[in-house]
Chains A and B, each alone.
Chain A
Amino acid sequence: MAVIDFLRSWITNIALVMIFITLLDILMPNSDMKRYTKVIAGLIIILVIIKPFLMIKSFDTQFRMKVLETTALLDVNIENKGRELEEYQKAQALELYKANIVKQIKNVISESNSINKEGIDIKMHIDSEAKGIEYGTIRSMIITISHADKSVISVSKVESIKISSDKNVINENNGEYNLNDSNLCSQIKNSVHNYIGLSKESITVKIQE
Chain B
Amino acid sequence: MDIMRIVLIGMIAAILAVILKQYKPEIAIHISIVTGLIIFIFMITKLNSVITVLRHFASKANIDILYVSTILKVVAIAYITEFGAQVCRDAGEGAIASKIEFSGKILIMIISIPILAALMDIIVKIIP
Q: A-side interface residues toward B, CB under 8 Å?
A: 9, 12-13, 16-17, 20-21, 23-24, 27-29, 31-34, 36-37, 39-41, 43-44, 46-48, 50, 53-54, 56, 59, 62-64, 66-68, 70-71, 74
B37 interface contact, C-beta 8 A: no
CB-CB contacts of B95-128 with A at 8 A, as 1s and 0s?
0000001001100111111111111011001100
Q: With a CB–CB cut-off of 8 A, which chain B residues contact A63?
A: 118-119, 121-122
Q: Which 3 A-B pairs have the closest CB atoms?
A: A66-B118, A33-B78, A70-B114
Alpha-carbon distance between A35 and B72 when the two chains are bound, in angstroms: 15
Alpha-carbon distance between A13 and B60 when the two chains are bound, in angstroms: 11
From B70, B79, B101, B121, contact of A40 by CB (8 A): B70
B54 interface contact, C-beta 8 A: yes
B6 interface contact, C-beta 8 A: no
From A23, A36, A67, A71, contact of B108 by CB (8 A): A36
B4 interface contact, C-beta 8 A: no
Q: With a CB–CB cut-off of 8 A, which chain A residues contact B54?
A: 20, 23-24
Interface of B is mostly: helix
Min C-beta distance of A74 to chain B, whole Å: 6
CB of B63 within 8 A of CB of A20, answer: yes
CB of A13 within 8 A of CB of B62, answer: yes
CB of B121 within 8 A of CB of A44, answer: no
CB of A27 within 8 A of CB of B47, answer: yes
Known A13-B61, A20-B57, A33-B82: A54·B66 in contact at CB below 8 Å: no
From A16, A44, A53, A56, contact of B71 by CB (8 A): A44
Q: Which B51-89 residues have C-beta < 8 A from chain A?
A: 54, 57-58, 61-63, 66-68, 70-71, 74-75, 78-79, 81-82
CB of A16 within 8 A of CB of B63, answer: yes
Known A63-B121, A67-B66, A70-B113: A24·B61 in contact at CB below 8 Å: no
Interface contacts beyond A36-B108, A74-B113: sample of 16 additional A-B pairs, CB < 8 Å, sorted by A: A17-B63, A27-B47, A27-B75, A28-B75, A29-B79, A36-B109, A37-B74, A48-B63, A53-B126, A59-B126, A64-B118, A66-B118, A67-B115, A68-B114, A70-B114, A74-B114
